[in-house]
Amino acid sequence: MTDRRMGSVCAVILALALTQPANAAADLNGVWKVEGYHQQLKTASGEPPPLKPEAAKRYRENLTKWKIGDLSYDPTSKCISPGMPRILYLPYPFEIVQSDRTIAYLFQWNYWNRVIELAPKPQDVPYPLAMGIARGKWIGDTLKIDTIGLRSDNTFLDAAGLPHSDDLHLIEEIRLLDGGQLLEDKITIEDKNVFTNVWSTTVRFRKLPAGTEIQEDICLDRVDAHQPAVSWPEKE
């Protein structure tokens, strides 16, 4: 791990006062990377998200640009945070560092991180944030995370420009499969301003070999070199 990345990680760890996850129902620690190709979100049944007419019109406009490689609609192309849940399924690994009080996601893409508080206290949202405010709790061996306070003026739910509002509520149900080598995240999306009803999608992440480290990543270096802010692999 590079010195710059180490400094960022240490700051997060010190702020969290991390301990061993003695009270957790499952050990999520490790480096993970998304499986599959998730530039355009679908529902769990493979259908398009149930958008309201105005939101559907906006999505069609973004989708038209995305298909021809015009990313002018997407702030991520200027290295602004992808927001949640989009950052989860970028084609870059992330590390989960777990304690009995908090769970931290340390994303490789441009040094972003996410902290889930496990303490049972009210969610205080002073203003919308790119990553929102997250609270989690264990239900058996499943981690349930509620995220609110997500800003909508410069984030989308997927690379194709799927919109949301500041009232977006994410409910994640996370569990380990395949002997702890696969992490499944069922994401339920509630946003009455944008969607006609609640819907869900499932994303899976493969655990990378022990010893894998998150690498230094500076998005602006790519943009300054006239490279994509997000580099996608060949479609699977």
- DSSP string across 187-231: EEEE-TTTBSS-EEEEEEEEEPPTT--PPP--HHHHHHTT--SS-
Strand-strand pairing, 133-139 and 113-117: parallel
Q: Give the structural domain span for 220.
A: 3-224
Q: What's the angle, vertex CA 214, arms to CA 80 and CA 208, rounded to 5?
A: 120
Give buried/exposed letters for 177-216 (b at 16+ CB in 10 A, else e): eeeeeebbbbbebbbeebbeeebebebbbebbeeeeebee
Q: Point out which residues pair with 116 in neighbouring strands.
A: 103, 134
What's the pLDDT at 25?
74
Q: For position 113, which CATH number holds?
A: 2.40.128.20
DSSP state of 101: S
176 within a domain of the structure (yes/no): yes
Which residue in the block uniquely carries the two structure tokens 């339920």? 188
**In tens digits, what is the pLDDT along the chain, a chain of 236 residues?**
444 444 445 445 544 544 444 456 789 999 999 998 899 999 999 999 999 999 999 999 999 999 999 999 999 999 999 999 999 999 999 999 999 899 999 999 999 999 999 977 767 777 889 999 999 999 999 999 999 999 999 999 999 999 999 999 999 999 999 999 999 999 999 999 999 999 999 999 999 999 999 999 999 999 999 999 998 887 65
Total length of the chain:
236
Structural domain includes residue 229:
no
Residue 233 domain-assigned? no
Q: Per the structure, how many domains does the chain have? A: 1
Per the domain annotation, does 132 fall within a domain? Answer: yes
